[in-house]
Amino acid sequence: MSSSSVLYDAPGPKTRVRNRIYTVAGSLAVLGALVFVVLRLNDKGQFAPEMWNIFNNAGVRTNIRDGVLMTLQAFAVGAVLSLVLGVLLAVGRLSDHKPVRWFATGFIELFRAVPLLITIYVLWVLFLANRGTLGFSGEGTQFWALVIGLTVYNGSVQAEVLRAGINAVPKGQSEAAYALGMRKAQVMLTVLVPQAVRSMLPTIISQLVVTLKDTSLGYVITYQELLFAIRQMAGNITVNEENPYVPMIIVGGAIYVAMCLLLSALANWIERRGRRAKTGIDVAGAGEPVTAADALEVADPVPGGPAGRQN
C-alpha cells in the first residue's frame, strides 16, 4: 500500500461501518453535484443530440484534426529547442567566465519572470516588424513567435531544473573526470549533464507537459492550434439558436488531457528503460533496489536512455 495508509489504522468493525457510510455519502455528494451540472446544462440544450451531431460533420472533424496537428507541431519544435537551450543556459550559468554567467543568469531570470503570454505577444510584434530580415512568410511569423516564446520560457525553466540536477551530482564524479584529464566542457557534457538529466527527469517531464499545454497560448496571436479551432467553431456554429460551447470544450479538453497523459506515460516509460540501463551512477533511483535481473540487462539496447534524448 502507499505510504499514506500509515495515517490511519486498519479499520475495525465500527470504523468499517462508518467508512461505508462516508463512502456512500461522499459518492452521493459527488454524484449529486455531477447530476446537477448535467441537468442544468441539459436544460440549456447542451446535451441535445443535434448539439453533439456536429462532430459527425466532416468540416468539424478536419478542423479538430488540423488543430491537433498544429498544436503538436509547435510542441515538438518548442520542446526540442527548449531542451537544447536549457542545457546551454544551465552550462552557461555554471561557467567560470563571468560575462557568460551573468548573461545566462540575466536571461533566465528575465524570461522566467515574464508571463509566456506576454513574451509570445511581444515576439510576434517584433517578428512582424522585422519580417523581411528574418525571412518569415505567411503563417511562419505566428509559428515562430509561438515556438521561440515556448523555447525561451521553458528553456529558462529547464535550465534551472538542470542546474539543480548538476549541483546534486556527487563531487567525486567531476573530480574523477578531471583526474582522468578531461576538459571542462567534456566533464560538463559527458559526465555531469547526463546524470543531471537522469536525476531530474520527472521534473523535466512535467515541464514538457507544461510546454504542451502552453501551446494553447498561441490563440492570442491567432496561431490556429486546437484551442483556437475549438473557440472558433464554438462561436460560429449555431444549433437550435445556441452555440455548442459545452460539447466543444468537453471534446477539446479530453484531447488535451489525453495528449498530456500520453506524454507523461511515454516519458516515464523512457525513464524506466533508462533506469534499467546502468550507464552511470543513478542519483535519483537510489531508492530502487538493484535486482539481479536489472544487473543482467546492462547491455540494454537503449544507450543512455533519457540522456540520449538531449542532443
- Within residues 211-250, the interface with other proteins by CB under 8 A covers 213-214, 216-217, 219-222, 227, 231-246, 249
Q: Is 260 in the site for other proteins (CB under 8 A)?
A: yes
Binding other proteins by CB under 8 A: which of 35, 76, 122, 168?
122
Binders of other proteins among residues 270 to 299 (CB under 8 A) are 272
Q: Is 133 in the site for other proteins (CB under 8 A)?
A: no
Q: How far apart are CA 275 and CA 306, in angstroms?
A: 9
Nearer to other proteins, 1 or 292 (CB): 1
Q: Is 258 in the site for other proteins (CB under 8 A)?
A: yes
Number of residues counted as binding other proteins (CB under 8 A): 95
Stretch that binds other proteins, among 83-91, 267-275, 281-289, 292-300 (CB under 8 A): 267-275
Spatial neighbors of 236 by CB under 8 A, at least 6 apart, are none
In this structure, is the dihedral angle defined by the CA atoms of residues 84, 103, 200 and 261, taken in order, positive or negative?
negative
Spatial neighbors of 92 by CB under 8 A, at least 6 apart, are 100, 101, 103, 104
Binding other proteins by CB under 8 A: which of 131, 172, 180, 290?
131
Q: Is 4 in the site for other proteins (CB under 8 A)?
A: yes
Q: How far apart are CA 156 and CA 10, in angstroms?
A: 47
Cβ of residue 22: shortest distance to other proteins, in angstroms? 5
Cβ of residue 200: shortest distance to other proteins, in angstroms? 15
Binders of other proteins among residues 68 to 97 (CB under 8 A) are 68
Binding other proteins by CB under 8 A: which of 81, 100, 114, 189?
114
Q: How far apart are CA 270 and CA 280, in angstroms?
A: 16
Stretch that binds other proteins, among 43-51, 75-83, 177-185, 186-194 (CB under 8 A): 43-51
Cβ of residue 233: shortest distance to other proteins, in angstroms? 6
Binding other proteins by CB under 8 A: which of 17, 129, 180, 290?
129
Q: How far apart are CA 7 and CA 92, in angstroms?
A: 45
Q: What is the radius of gyration, based on Cα positions, of the chain?
A: 25
Q: How far apart are CA 156 and CA 149, in angstroms?
A: 11
Nearest to 73 by CA among 62, 81, 84: 81
DSSP output for 217-280: GGGGGT---HHHHHHHHHHH--BTTB--HHHHHHHHHHHHHHHHHHHHHHHHHHHHHHHHS--S
Instruction: Find cell 462516508 and name the residue.
Output: 22
How crowded is residue 143: how many other Cβ atoms within 10 Å of its Cβ? 22
Binding other proteins by CB under 8 A: which of 17, 23, 35, 106?
23
Nearer to other proteins, 235 or 303 (CB): 235
Binding other proteins by CB under 8 A: which of 9, 49, 99, 291?
9
Instruction: Find cell 515576439 and name the residue.
Output: 123
Nearer to other proteins, 240 or 291 (CB): 240
Binding other proteins by CB under 8 A: which of 168, 176, 257, 296?
257
